[in-house]
Chain A
Amino acid sequence: MNEYGQVYRALALNKTINERGFRLFKRKSMINIEGLTKIYGEQKAVDDISFKVEKGEILGFLGPNGAGKTTTMKIITCYMPPTMGKVTVGGFSVIDNSIDVRRMIGYLPESNPLYGDMNVVDFLRYVADLRNIKGEYQGKRIHEMVDICNLGDVLHKNINELSKGYRQRVGLAQAMIHDPEILILDEPTIGLDPNQVVDIRTLIKELGRQKTVILSTHILSEVQATCDRAVIIHHGKIVADSTLSELQRDLQNKITINLEMIVDENNVVEQLEKVEGIEEVLETFPDDASGKNYRIIASAGVDPRREIFKCAVDTGWVIIGLEREVRSLEDVFHQLTQEN
């Protein structure tokens, strides 16, 4: 009895040490959002959302216009306080330790507001001053930013005279000048030409190795190209939060099939719906169709093409097209954010 007791206690102790150790070494979330709600007047712009962003993670924040992306970002960057909920950045609360939070964050707002009456160098100096980057280090940082964002040609031009692409790059330079732990970019590649888009995405990916990045966009290929994880938000609520590979795997789970057949009957849809493994059948009317077209959504994890073929053979339909649709992120996005 005594012996057992000792062993048990030893095991229990070991377990606590392990747990504590685990807690000590576990990576702390950089950004932690819990039950965040923002109400403008009567409208809920953000409705009870929660998510975490780890250090070294690039999070794509997706959603249709007006879904609440920008509002959430404005709250994280301390531009406006939440109506309800808790937001901490690097352990600091956006309400109680707002200055500490702001120090850690580099922010590119949605409309990329800049002082039009200043030239690029003066503007970057001003931002560096406000960020408390002084003296030699300031010169070095500005130099680096000019290099990274390719601003060499416009250094002494007034910001008002710059093209949208250049303005966007000035905005990015401004956001990164203090080498922030966290970058929050609201639609960072808008207005850039395709080469610049590639450059900026590469840059974001590089930064994402050590820093934490949240970028919002409605360009889905951008998320595919740069992000580790995507949060899709719709009507102020999170409708999906997973790594990109998970997200795409989920999609593949439910197969969509496009079927084209030559038939005379009218009750094809009903008959098809009886086939095992089919969840939903829609008749579609593409322009270049030679037969009748159906869009079939299968139940999760089932590929019903064999059953469809059998059914067609049994009833005498002539299949002239039967293909499985490879679903892209666009489809997921569309499906998740559809109006019901």
Chain B
Amino acid sequence: MQNIWSIFKRELRAYFDSPIAYVVITVFLLFTGWYFTTYFFLAGQADLRVILGIIPFAFLIITPAITMRLISEERKTGTMELLVTMPIHDSSIIVGKYLAAVALLIAMILPTLVYGITVAFLGDMDYGPAIGGYLGFLFIGAAYLAIGTLGSSLTENQVVAFIISLLIMAAFYLMDKILIFIPNSMVSIVEYLAIVYHFQNISRGVIDTRDLVYYLTLISLALFLATRAMAARRKR
């Protein structure tokens, strides 16, 4: 536990000591802010629904950028050797790093509360979907980050890590958008696997254990595989 905390602290500092955190947060806020204000001023709608729709897509690009360096950089610079010869379990390394990425994600989402406050003042705020929406961001973001951590554990090249992660995420992202091409018998399975489907459930303000189980399973599985990939890599 303590080791996870030590690694978490170091990784989070590394994010904020380097430009990564600032670039990622700026890009994310510009993107969502542009969408929000466009609808707010041009369409005259004080509504959070737009943001809810666009964020899963924004995450698709932003989250692999957050995670791509997590493990691949350690391998490239050789510090992996230092880290894995410390008396800590591989899983602590992965979890600590992953949680740092999640913390950065939270730091990135927090400023968007401004949109929520704006809507609350000027429009009809529907609190259920708003709170559900933010929980949904957290879950979908956390799931993406776990996949990103896995991607980063597979290669020592950050660009390759970015692309692998993006591909896996895109597969999960697109699943519920291709449902019409899928035989009827399979629809419910594919729909259950789709990452956005569960996000939509949560963001409706209904928190169902099935959706939580989906995200937690996806996260655990990705982190488990990342741990295995990291261990397998050093066996060579």
- Chain A: CB-nearest residue to B233: A80
Asked if A130 contacts B81 (CB within 8 A), the reply is no
Majority secondary structure of chain B interface residues (helix, strand, loop or mixed) = helix
Binary A-proximity of B54-97 (CB < 8 A = 1, otherwise 0):
00000000000000000000000111111111111100000000
Chain A interface residue count, Cβ-Cβ cutoff 8 angstroms:
29
- Chain B: CB-nearest residue to A107: B85
Chain B interface residue count, Cβ-Cβ cutoff 8 angstroms:
26
Closest Cβ of chain A to B22, distance in Å, is 15
Roughly how many angstroms separate A102 CA and B88 CA in the complex, as a whole number? 8
Give the A-B pair count, Cβ closer than 8 A: 70
- Chain A: CB-nearest residue to B89: A99
> Which B residues lie within 8 Å of A156 (CB)?
none
The stretch from B10-18, B115-123, B127-135 touching chain A is: B10-18
- Chain B: CB-nearest residue to A101: B87
Question: B26 at interface (Cβ–Cβ under 8 A)?
Answer: no
Roughly how many angstroms separate A115 CA and B17 CA in the complex, as a whole number? 12
> Which B residues lie within 8 Å of A117 (CB)?
14, 17-18
Using A78-B85, A99-B89, A102-B86 as known contacts, say yes or no to A130 and B78 having CB atoms under 8 A apart: no
> Which A residues lie within 8 Å of B17 (CB)?
117
> Which B residues lie within 8 Å of A131 (CB)?
86-87
> Which B residues lie within 8 Å of A99 (CB)?
87-89
Asked if A126 contacts B85 (CB within 8 A), the reply is no
Closest Cβ of chain A to B7, distance in Å, is 8
> Which A residues lie within 8 Å of B234 (CB)?
79-80
Closest Cβ of chain B to A71, distance in Å, is 11
Roughly how many angstroms separate A158 CA and B9 CA in the complex, as a whole number? 18
The 8 closest A-B pairs by CB, nearest first: A113-B78, A129-B6, A103-B87, A102-B87, A113-B79, A130-B86, A77-B85, A109-B81
- A residues near B (Cβ < 8 Å) are 40, 74, 77-81, 99-100, 102-103, 105, 107, 109, 111, 113-118, 122, 126-127, 129-132, 174
- B residues near A (Cβ < 8 Å) are 2-3, 6-7, 9-10, 13-14, 17-18, 77-89, 234-236
